[in-house]
Structure formats: structure tokens, C-alpha cells
């Protein structure tokens, strides 16, 4: 039985047409004469001699579909071999301890490499593979081992200049290269991202249905992440934030271990990761199932900003414009609540809203929760184009010790975040599966007494 299972695993084709067409696209972009060198990522120490679960480098996985620590990709458009992988060699004893490896053979048969070698041969083989290449794309950040290997190869080729060998003389940033491809979601990326956002939405729905006083932020985190894994995601795509009461005013709160108190709001920011694409959704709702009138008024301000921001997410606009639209509504709301003074333009120009809204409204979304791709082109905000996916996440945070705030709103943090696909015909809200209207939320809050 065991042999049978292993045989099946070994012959399952993992190389997909989407990664092949991405390599082709990138190859055409860099042209013959260039090469791309990418690290697959390494295991990260958690403590002492234990490691975090492996998560491959986003750029590497985007082009290979391979999730194995230590791998290296070399792409040389127009040369033979064009697509080379360096991977850990098969080692039955090591694999008993740390998991199966594809080995060079698997790299060829399952991942479509034209050539594959054990990782240990990288330094020795790199000079010949780069001989005659004019420029090399590699990540400028977070790849120190690869930098050393490349510099050694360049030095080797330099020494052999008089023998006719030619070293690359130009280094370029692979992150920028890949970012400009990844920012426009291709069909496969969009299918995966849609599913990741759907699973994220299912996790939020389970939390909304399960929430009630007496539980802990821990329970909500567990409910959400159970749904994520149960529905096929690898887990959360970033640290899940479950903040009750004034924990919601801590932007990167991840302790998630406080009791849920009746009368308080709960802010949940969570996204599921599937095949290295992640959702990113935030919802805020009352722990006991009903907003107080004050909480509801504050919530409606943020919701109006969220909806207006989404309407602004259209071709030709940009994320500064989305931020501006949201900011105006938030500033008007803060004026209505007497938390700030002056005219709305004054509040915005003098940034009087900052104590209550201190972050930006949007970021790109995809393989990384803060995804790749330039935010500005020529120092101007990048015009939105079809295929870009971004978040719209306006918020208001009322500090717990704010003497200007009505007591019922002190320590309230409200953020409403959706994932939006830019399309020619207008924005598509990928995260529409999670309700955000007050009545829709109140209709299902706490309806599932599972725990």
C-alpha cells in the first residue's frame, strides 16, 4: 500500500500550463541575452532547532509551482537549457525526517524543467550557465546566498575573460520584473485568488455566526482558521487579527487572547492562503449581536467610506483617489461626532483626522497580502487597469482615553475591508460573500451556537 501511494505521488504531474506560460511571458519581457535567477525560499527558524512550516518565495512559486525549501530557478530565454532548476537531491534517510523531495528527476518530470541538478552543484555549474549572458535579473533583497553564488560565478568568468568567456555586466532587480507581471492577475492567478477570497469569506461567516459573549478572541481565531484549513487553504495568509474592544485600535494586534465582552465590538482581519494566493478581509461587528446606536452611527460612517472607495476603484482612477474619497467621508463623520473641528477641507489638509485614521486605504493583493508591483509610475500614482486586485479598507479608531469622544465610543475600532478586482466594466468585489450592512450582520450574528 505504501509503495502504491508513493508511486502515485511521484507521478502526479504538478507542472501546470499556467507556470509555463508565465515563464514564457517573463522570458519575452527580459529577452534573449538575459537570465533570471530566483531563490525558492528557505526554512525559517521558529525557535532553537524547530522551523516554521515552509512557505515558498512568491515569485519563485509563481513561475514554478514548486514548494520545496532551498530550490533555485535559472531561466535563460532563447538558450538551451532554457529552464533549469536546482533542488535538494533525493535522500531517503533525510526524507524520513523532513519530508519528501522531488529531486532533479522530479523537477524535470513533474515541474517541466529542461534541466535539473542537485542544489550542491549550483556554484560549480553557474559560471557555464551564465557565460555569454548579458544581464542577470535576481532579487536585490532577501537573497544573500544567491548573491554570493552569483558573485563567485561572475568572478570565475572574469578570470576566464582571455579564454573567450563572457560574464554578465548588468544586474537588474527580479522583484520589480516579477511585480510588473504579478500585478495583472492572469486567468490562473485570478481563479486561485477568487477561491482564496471565497474561503476567507467562509471563515469570516463562521466567525460572525459563532460570536457571542463568553467566548474568547482565541475561539474566533480557531473558528476562522479551522474553516480555512477545512476548505483547502494552507492556513492564514498573514497573522489573523481578532481584536475585541479597544484591542481593535491596535493595528497589528495578533495576541488574540482576550475574552469577548458583551456590548463591545469585535474587529476581525483575516485571509486564507491557497496555492500562495491570499485573501484579506476585515469585518467589525457587535459581540452581543446588536450595535448600540452610537456604535451603529460610527459603523455607518466607515461603511459609507468603504462603499464610496469601492465605487472609485475603476479603470483610470488610482489608490490616492480611493484614499481621498474615503478620507472625505471619514472626515465628515468625525466632524459630525465633534471629534475634530473646522471645515472638512481643513480637517483633511491639516490631517486632523490622523488620531482616528492613521493608515492608507488600499494595497495590492495577490500572492503576498501586500502584493508586488509598483505603486507609482514616474512618481505619480499608478492608474488602475483591468486585472489589478486591491483592498479598500477605511477605518476609524477611537482611542480609549480620548476625552472628546462620547464614553460609548471610547476604545472602538472599526475597519471594513474588501478585496476588489478592477475590470473595464467596473469594480468587482471578490469578498462580497461576507455581509457588511448592519441589518445583514445582525440577522446572522451568533446564530450558530456551535461552541
Residues with a catalytic annotation lie at 49, 252, 269, 280, 359, 363, 370, 393, 397, 415, 417
- CB 36 within 8 Å of CB 26: yes
Q: Which is nearer to Mn ion, 328 or 360 (CB)?
A: 360
Q: Which residue, 274, 207, 247, is CA-closest to 415?
A: 247
Q: Which is nearer to Mn ion, 202 or 417 (CB)?
A: 417
**Minimum distance from CB of 288 to Mn ion (Å)?**
27
Secondary structure element (H or E) that encloses residue 206, with its range? helix 187-210
The span from the CA of 183 to the CA of 121, in Å, is 34
The span from the CA of 269 to the CA of 70, in Å, is 31
Q: Which grid coordinates belong to 57?
A: 518565495
Cα–Cα distances in Å, from 342 out to 83, 325, 379, 413, 425?
Answer: 62, 19, 31, 23, 38
Q: Which is nearer to Mn ion, 347 or 365 (CB)?
A: 365
Cα–Cα distances in Å, from 398 out to 73, 270, 309, 337?
Answer: 48, 21, 21, 11
199: Cα separation from own chain's centroid: 14
Three-state DSSP state, 210: helix
**Minimum distance from CB of 89 to Mn ion (Å)?**
40
Secondary structure element (H or E) that encloses residue 10, with its range? helix 2-11
End-to-end CA, the chain: 38
Q: Which is nearer to Mn ion, 284 or 391 (CB)?
A: 391
Q: Which residue, 363, 373, 339, 192, is CA-closest to 274?
A: 192
**Minimum distance from CB of 194 to Mn ion (Å)?**
17
At a CB cut-off of 8 Å and minimum separation 6, what does 130 contact?
35, 136, 150, 153, 154, 157, 167, 168
426: Cα separation from own chain's centroid: 23
Report the DSSP pairing between strands 83-87 and 115-118.
Answer: parallel
**Minimum distance from CB of 417 to Mn ion (Å)?**
5
Classify residue 433 by its DSSP letter. T
**Site residues (CB under 5 A) for Mn ion?**
280, 391
Neighbours of 392 (CB within 10 A): 29
Q: Which grid coordinates belong to 324?
A: 481621498
Classify residue 447 by its DSSP letter. -
At a CB cut-off of 8 Å and minimum separation 6, what does 307 contact?
none
**Minimum distance from CB of 309 to Mn ion (Å)?**
13
Task: Write the DSSP assignment of 289-338 as a string of letters.
Answer: SS--HHHHHHHHHHHHHHHHHHHT-STT--HHHHHHHHHHHHHHHHHHTT
Q: Which is nearer to Mn ion, 200 or 391 (CB)?
A: 391
Q: Which is nearer to Mn ion, 198 or 219 (CB)?
A: 198
Q: Which grid coordinates belong to 139?
A: 532579487
Question: Where are the extended beta strands (E) located within 135-175?
Answer: 135-138, 170-173
Q: Which is nearer to Mn ion, 127 or 279 (CB)?
A: 279
Q: Which is nearer to Mn ion, 326 or 340 (CB)?
A: 326
Q: Which residue, 209, 247, 250, is CA-closest to 226?
A: 209
Q: Which is nearer to Mn ion, 220 or 365 (CB)?
A: 365
Amino acid at each position: 500500500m505504501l509503495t502504491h501511494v508513493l508511486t502515485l505521488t511521484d507521478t502526479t504531474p504538478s507542472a501546470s500550463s499556467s507556470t509555463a506560460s508565465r515563464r514564457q511571458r517573463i522570458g519575452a519581457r527580459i529577452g534573449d541575452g538575459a537570465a533570471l535567477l530566483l531563490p525558492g525560499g528557505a526554512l525559517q527558524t521558529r525557535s532553537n532547532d524547530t522551523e516554521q512550516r515552509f512557505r515558498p518565495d512568491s515569485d519563485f512559486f509563481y513561475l514554478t509551482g514548486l514548494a520545496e525549501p532551498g530550490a533555485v530557478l535559472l531561466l535563460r530565454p532563447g538558450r538551451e537549457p532554457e529552464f533549469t532548476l536546482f533542488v535538494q537531491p533525493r535522500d531517503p534517510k533525510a526524507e524520513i525526517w523532513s519530508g519528501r523531495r522531488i529531486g532533479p528527476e522530479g523537477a524535470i518530470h513533474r515541474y517541466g524543467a529542461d534541466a535539473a541538478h542537485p542544489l550542491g552543484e549550483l556554484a560549480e555549474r553557474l559560471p557555464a550557465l551564465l557565460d555569454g549572458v548579458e544581464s542577470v535579473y535576481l532579487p536585490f533583497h532577501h537573497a544573500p546566498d544567491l548573491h554570493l553564488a552569483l558573485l563567485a560565478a561572475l568572478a570565475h568568468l572574469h578570470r576566464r575573460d582571455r579564454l573567450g568567456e563572457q560574464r554578465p555586466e548588468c544586474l537588474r532587480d527580479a522583484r520589480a520584473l516579477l511585480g510588473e507581471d504579478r500585478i495583472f492577475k492572469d486567468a490562473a492567478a485570478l481563479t486561485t485568488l477568487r477561491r482564496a477570497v471565497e474561503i476567507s469569506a467562509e471563515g469570516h461567516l463562521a466567525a460572525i455566526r459563532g460570536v457571542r459573549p463568553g467566548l474568547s478572541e482565541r475561539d474566533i481565531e480557531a473558528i476562522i482558521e479551522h474553516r480555512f484549513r477545512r476548505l483547502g487553504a494552507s492556513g492564514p495568509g498573514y497573522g489573523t487579527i481578532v481584536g475585541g474592544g479597544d484591542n481593535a485600535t491596535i493595528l497589528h494586534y495578533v495576541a488574540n487572547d482576550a475574552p469577548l465582552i458583551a456590548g463591545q465590538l469585535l474587529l476581525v482581519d483575516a485571509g486564507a492562503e491557497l496555492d500562495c494566493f491570499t485573501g484579506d478581509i476585515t469585518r467589525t461587528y457587535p459581540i452581543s449581536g446588536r450595535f448600540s446606536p452610537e456604535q451603529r452611527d460610527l459603523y455607518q460612517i466607515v461603511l459609507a467610506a468603504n462603499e464610496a472607495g469601492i465605487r472609485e476603484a475603476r479603470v483610470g482612477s488610482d489608490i490616492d483617489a480611493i484614499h481621498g474619497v474615503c478620507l472625505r467621508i471619514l472626515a465628515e463623520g468625525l466632524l459630525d461626532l465633534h471629534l475634530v473641528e473646522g471645515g472638512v477641507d481643513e480637517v483633511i489638509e491639516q490631517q486632523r483626522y490622523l488620531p482616528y485614521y492613521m493608515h492608507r486605504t488600499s494595497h495590492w493583493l495577490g500572492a503576498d497580502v501586500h502584493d508586488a508591483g509598483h505603486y507609482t509610475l514616474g512618481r505619480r500614482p499608478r492608474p488602475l487597469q483591468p486585472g489589478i486586485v486591491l483592498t479598500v479598507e477605511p477605518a476609524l479608531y477611537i482611542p480609549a482615553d480620548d476625552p472628546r469622544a462620547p464614553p460609548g465610543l471610547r476604545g472602538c475600532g472599526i475597519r471594513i475591508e474588501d478585496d476588489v478586482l478592477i475590470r473595464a466594466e467596473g469594480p468587482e468585489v471578490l469578498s462580497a460573500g461576507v455581509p457588511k450592512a448592519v441589518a445583514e450582520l445582525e440577522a446572522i450574528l451568533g446564530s450558530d451556537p456551535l461552541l
